[in-house]
Amino acid sequence: MSLFDDDFYSTRVSRKVRSSERDGKSFSFGRPRSDGGWSNVRIALTSSLVSALAAVTVFGLTVGFDGGSSHRATPTVAAVQTGDPLERTIQAAEKVRPAVVSIINEQSLSSMRGGAAGSEGSDDEHSGLEEAALGSGVIFQKEKGKAYIITNNHVVEDAIAVKAVLSNGEIREASVVGLDAITDLAVLEIDAKGIDVVAEVGDSNGLRAGQWVMAIGNPLGLSDSLTMGIVSKTHRIIPISLGQDGVYDWEQEVVQIDASINQGNSGGPLIDLNGKVVGINSMKVADFGVEGVGFAIPSNYAMPIVESLMEFGKVKRPYLGVYSMDLEQYWAQQASRKGADDAEDSELDEEDWLEDDGAEGDGTELPPIELDLPKDVREGVIVLEAVGPAKDAGLMFNDVIVKLDKQTIGSTMELRKYLYAKKQIGDEIEVTLYRDGEKQTLHLTLGEKEEE
């Protein structure tokens, strides 16, 4: 016997048909009720039908009806699924690849090997030249029969001749329009005949971490190569050594990516999936156990430099006129001297630490550095030689600069960053320094370095 008397609540299903009213085309299932109400099965069937109608109504309101048409309204998700997302990478690459070139840096055999150059009287003006470096570049502008290429400064540095290899394999002579070692950017010029594709420069400020990007270039001499990865970080500051002497004297703003950047990729474009150049591939971390750490100069940072190179052949920056050494390095040298047995081996070599803000040295041998400073002065910039504006203002050997205007200066890097970011050619600047243990202040007018 069921726990409930009413069969509607019971788990037991009645198998016996109680009555049939065929003449009225109606059927009665289950136990007849004296009050003329519906049977349990009819109630269940009706409930199921109502639920089905409700579901159809809700679906119709959500997706939409088309007035009886055999074609229903397509949901948004279905529209997205109709395209191939991988096709975007192919289209982006096809858009830029014809504008990407390989760069060949040629130097004299004598400078590379220490031997004699080509034979005198040779009819071939490049007979004494040899390929010294390979890199990449991207054509970004065409004007008055000339095509202009962005690349890295280190790709064409010290070149006697530069060649650009187009995507179709044609080799053309290139001339250097301008170079900038600090930002590691350069602009080249070639004949524009037959060049139809120019890369479009995009907005690097719109990059986001995790966004897909592609690097195009000439890695290991394998021209017209693509690598793909994501943006690891949109804004990274990397310390670099401009003199390649292990002393960090500048900081470069870069985009960090995990797309493969190999030797020869330098100067090539970093593009987004719209086929726009958002960076110039510049460097990678090359160390044991390190993979997928590459860097590109952001396009928004690079283009003002490129425009200056196009107009002036250089980047005009304010010029103080000092060769310098960081005071911190001096203290480190002094500490090492105390523990050395041989005074000659530990003697400070100023040339090993010589840095400048664009000044030119005259090759004069410098006297030993002997500083008289308060004990609490541990950071600053030692003047090893003053020329130009600094010399005119009275700066001298062994002066220790500690402030520019009211900004504390602890290193040559900070001195450069303040000058280049905060000052202009012709601006007045206040220099706070220590000389013979006494604090002094000088004023000078920043100049512009004349090219050699």
Contact, 39 vs 28, CB < 8 A? yes
Residue 266 annotated to the active site: yes
Residue 35: Cβ within 10 Å count: 4
Residue 133 · residue 127 · CB < 8 Å = no
Determine the Cα–Cα distance for residues 318 and 228; give it in Å rounded to an integer.
Answer: 39
- Measured between alpha carbons, how far is 142 from 173 in angstroms, rounded to an integer? 16
d(CA 281, CA 190): 21
Q: Which two tokens stand for residue 411?
A: 């290193």
Alpha carbons 283 and 184: distance in angstroms, whole number: 10
Distances (CA, A) of 358 to 25, 42, 391, 416, 426: 106, 97, 14, 9, 15
- Pairing relationship of beta strands 200-201 and 276-284 according to DSSP bridges: parallel
Residue 226, both tokens: 């693509």
H-helix or E-strand spanning residue 227: strand 225-240
What amino acid is encoded at 193 in this protein? Answer: K
In the block, which residue shows the tokens 């200056």? 308
Tokens of 82: 């109709």
Rounded to whole angstroms, how far apart are CA atoms 265 and 135? 6
Name the one residue in this structure whose structure tokens are 């890369």. Answer: 199
399 is catalytic: no
Are the C-beta atoms of 407 and 421 separated by less than 8 Å?
no
Active site residue: 154, 223, 357, 399, which one?
154
Q: Per the structure block, which two tokens stand in for 80?
A: 């997205």
Nearest one of 152, 252, 273 to 208, comparing CA atoms: 273
184 an active-site residue?
Answer: yes
Tokens 């870069």: give the residue. 254
3-class DSSP state of 301 = helix
Report d(CA 312, CA 49) in Å as an integer: 82
Strands (E), 100-143: 100-108, 129-143
Do you know the residue count of the chain?
Answer: 452
> Residues 266, 282, 299, 324: which is the catalytic one?
266
d(CA 292, CA 426): 44
DSSP, res 115: S
Residues β-bridged to residue 294:
257, 284
Catalytic residues: 154, 184, 266
